[in-house]
């Protein structure tokens, strides 16, 4: 088991509304079932996932200010903040933890404004368009990074 295996799984604006959003784009899991599934992936990979979701940008910023004390890595799906929040980007830089960006939908093949991610270049990698299943390769990438960093 990895010594540093605590993963903060962070969801931003409107992701608590999964289940009410277009299932053709976002799948049919609601937020609770999404986090349950991510928790199962994490357990299979011997990672300890903890979850946080908010619709308030400042709450996510403040969570990122504290996350260093409770996690070794971050999975983040910021929702629409992905495309314009320099505040979230700056807070992620302050957190200074290895981070993987995840999107349920394929942000490169939707509306033009979704093609820009203001956090992509400070993340280890981005997984997009694989629905809930995309959180598994995201967790694997973090686990591999944490394992290498430990040696």
Residues in the site for ligand DQA, rule: CB under 6 A? 14, 77, 79-80, 82, 103-105, 107, 114
Q: Is the CB of residue 84 less than 8 Å from the CB of residue 59?
A: no
**Distance between CA atoms of residues 83 and 53, nearest Å:** 17
Nearer to ligand DQA, 34 or 42 (CB): 34
Which lies closer to ligand DQA via its Cβ, residue 72 or residue 101? 101
Contacts of 27 (CB under 8 A, 6+ apart): 18, 104, 131, 132
For 23, 44, 93, 105, 127, the CA distances from 90, given in Å and listed in that order, are 32, 32, 5, 24, 21
Q: Which is nearer to ligand DQA, 91 or 119 (CB)?
A: 119
Q: Smallest gap, in angstroms, from Cβ of residue 45 to ligand DQA?
A: 21
For the question of residue 26 being annotated catalytic, the response is yes
Report, in Å, the least distance between residue 93 CB and ligand DQA. 20
- State how far the Cα of 75 lies from the Cα of 92, in Å rounded to an integer: 11
Alpha carbon distance 9, 39 (integer Å) = 9
Which of 4, 26, 63, 86 is an active site residue? 26
Q: Confirm whether 84 is a catalytic residue.
A: no
Catalytic residue among 31, 84, 103, 135: 103
Distance CA 57, CA 71 (A): 20
Instruction: Look at residues 89, 39, 31, 97 and name the one whose alpha carbon lies nearest to residue 66.
Output: 97
Nearer to ligand DQA, 75 or 97 (CB): 75
Minimum CB–partner distance for residue 25 and ligand DQA (Å): 7
User: Least distance to ligand DQA from the beta carbon of 140, Å?
Assistant: 18
Q: Which residues are the active-site residues?
A: 26, 103
């Amino acid at each position: 088991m990895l010594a540093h295996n605590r993963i903060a799984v962070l969801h931003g604006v409107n992701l608590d509304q999964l289940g009410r959003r277009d299932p053709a784009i976002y799948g049919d899991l609601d937020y609770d079932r999404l986090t349950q599934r991510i928790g199962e992936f994490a357990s299979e990979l011997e990672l300890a996932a903890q979850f946080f979701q908010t619709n308030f940008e400042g709450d996510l910023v403040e969570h990122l200010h504290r996350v260093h004390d409770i996690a070794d890595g971050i999975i983040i799906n910021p929702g629409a903040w992905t495309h314009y929040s320099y505040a979230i980007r700056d807070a992620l830089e302050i957190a200074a933890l290895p981070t993987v960006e995840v999107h349920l939908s394929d942000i490169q093949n939707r509306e033009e404004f979704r093609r820009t991610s203001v956090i992509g270049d400070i993340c280890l990698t981005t997984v997009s368009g694989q629905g809930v299943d995309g959180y598994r390769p995201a967790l694997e990438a973090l686990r591999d990074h944490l394992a290498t960093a430990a040696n």
